Structure 1
């Protein structure tokens, strides 16, 4: 059996205005091959300055280092995908309809910011989906550092969709009309608990098995074990970012668009345990999900030979709301049979 590896793709030809057509075509081919086989990609040449990511990492430390009660003051209702989520208040497996007794058991804590209604003046958007952000006053410099990284990650996501159009043989700018008021969210995660707060019994879940919901995810993460990806061999494999790399994976909407030519790869986070303690791990996922009212249906070039698709059309809003109702509100998603079946196949009998 071949060793599992996450392919590396240099996208600098798409970032640099002087990038040649030949270099762009080579990057697009490489990404297409990776999306067909693994679904996770190490991306280099993304152009995010180290100063931005350093300040961003410090901002995460500043907020997550606050007392729990201070962090809890920034909680929002489950339907508002903003603010703070304490440990054991979510279950990502429920976004696929999977989790024992609908138990909210993922031990990570998180803070979410996203594209707000005020970011798209003149567009009539639902307040719940495009909620205004809450910003912790106790964490010095948090808002400025997070906003700077949010802008950079969004640029990378839009650069990637430009490359996606080339890789899929679509007209230039194809995805722009689906993303000009995109439902973008940056989720900052912290995997660390005080000693003695949990029992390290082998069943502790950092973040349950799930696929990402939207078009593409741009992931910044520490070089610490924990992230695991489900390979085509049916086994879970550890993945860590290479030096200077961002991890890129595709969401359900891209799998629907391409009729699974490109997969939304299942992944999870298992806590790295060193000498009986959980080793701290930070990550930040920028979810580029598309316009809330965009209708996603299989691309004509990706239909089956008989002209059919594995997926019916769905709006971005319908799909995302069903997923969030599972992970954040404990309502099992009944519309994710294909992804759930892949998780169940990978679990021990």
Structure 2
């Protein structure tokens, strides 16, 4: 647990540098040793969080056939995704491409190209949002307002974390900001549920398959319900329960590449508990801060191995495309390289 208040609120001039140095050191240690951390002092108002929760309830409470109208093609990371339409493990090439079996439904919104009229951004990457329409007791305008308010606040927190990362890594303060001024950011609102009629006695339901996140950093709001598990360095899956008022934060693969795995992009999964044959309801909202699609990611000079070892350079756009082709289109990612090897080694250690 790290309190990031010194980076969010102005402290006294005499204490701020000391307080910020403490926060950077604490967060840096968590990034090296775990890759997951809970943060307090993020500054997101309770009313904004309550608005998000209400929006999630209102949308996913609609009939399945209504939600299916909001579905986009797999290459467009927007709109509705029904249960068993994705497999996150395929983003690392870890499952058969025929197994799209993650038992969650989701709704995605993100940064659109029209927000940057001065740039020629690819429409398929910076797609326009598919905001749901009002109807049958669902208020589309209210949903959009609540989700947009949270999207803005989660983005602020993500950018603040990147500023702390720069201090923790002892690199120039704008190191991350320089590659995130038109960042591919996506908010994924998730509802875990099993399809009607599935006999959970016949299989262990997978809420979300084992995977690492793709980008720079993820800011996660989640219910106080079990289900999220993180694979530790001891090869054991550890349950993660968010503390009241805290946000969960984890690193993505791009940060692992930047730091040559000195900072960890940790394998995680979701296994919602089954009670009386039904999955216990669990909601979450993951804000993915992924960076500019055209930015080239290279290992930081201070993180290159003594033998010159480092991740090969890659554009953020190419990296994200391979990951999303796995999770959303069912095409196993064969270019995961060192990332897949790291995950496979971790799974073998876990038995």
**TM-score between the two structures when normalised by the length of structure 1:** 0.95
Give, in angstroms, the shift of residue 307 of structure 1.
2.7
Q: What is the CA deviation profile of residues 234-280 of structure 1, one whole-angstrom value per residue up to 9, with x for unaligned ones?
A: 11111011111100000000000000110110000112112222100
Pick aligned residue for 2:117 from 95, 117, 121: 121
* Residue 243 of structure 1: aligned partner: 244
Quick check: 1:329 aligned with 2:322?
no
Aligned counterpart in structure 1 of residue 4 of structure 2, from 6, 11, 29: 11
Instruction: Identify unmatched segments of 5+ residues in structure 2.
Output: none
| Alignment correspondent of 1:75 | 71
Deviations 1:219-240, CA, capped at 9 Å, x for gaps: 0000111101010011111101
1: CA distance, partners of 2:208 / 2:6: 34
Partners of 1:136 and 1:245 lie apart in 2 by 29
Deviations 1:146-168 (A, max 9, x none): 00000000000000001011000
| Structure 1 unaligned residues grouped into runs of 5+ | 1-7
Match for residue 100 of structure 1 among 96, 116, 120: 96
Give TM-score, length-normalised by structure 2: 0.94
Whether the aligned pair in 1 keeps the contact of 2:96 and 2:332 (CA below 8 Å) is no
Corresponding residue for 1:314? 314
Deviations 1:2-37 (A, max 9, x none): xxxxxx011000000236011110000000100000
Question: The residue matched to 2:184 in structure 1 has which SS?
Answer: strand
Moved >4 Å (runs of 4+): none
Taking the TM superposition and a 5 Å limit, the aligned residue runs for 1:208-247 are 208-247=209-248
Partner in structure 2 of residue 5 of structure 1: none
* 1:84-95 matches, cutoff 5 A: 84-95=80-91
Q: State the secondary structure of the residue aligned to 1:291.
A: coil
State the alpha-carbon separation in 2 of the partners of residues 237 and 9 from structure 1.
19
Q: CA RMSD in A?
A: 1.4
Q: Is the 8 A contact 2:97 2:330 kept in 1?
A: no
1:129-278 matches, within 5 Å, as: 129-138=125-134, 139-140=138-139, 141-193=142-194, 196-278=197-279
**In the TM superposition, what are the counterparts of 1:19-58 in structure 2 within 5 Å?**
20-58=16-54
Which whole-Å deviations, capped at 9, do the CAs of 1:40-85 have from their partners, x for residues lacking one? 0000000000000001100000000000000000000000000000
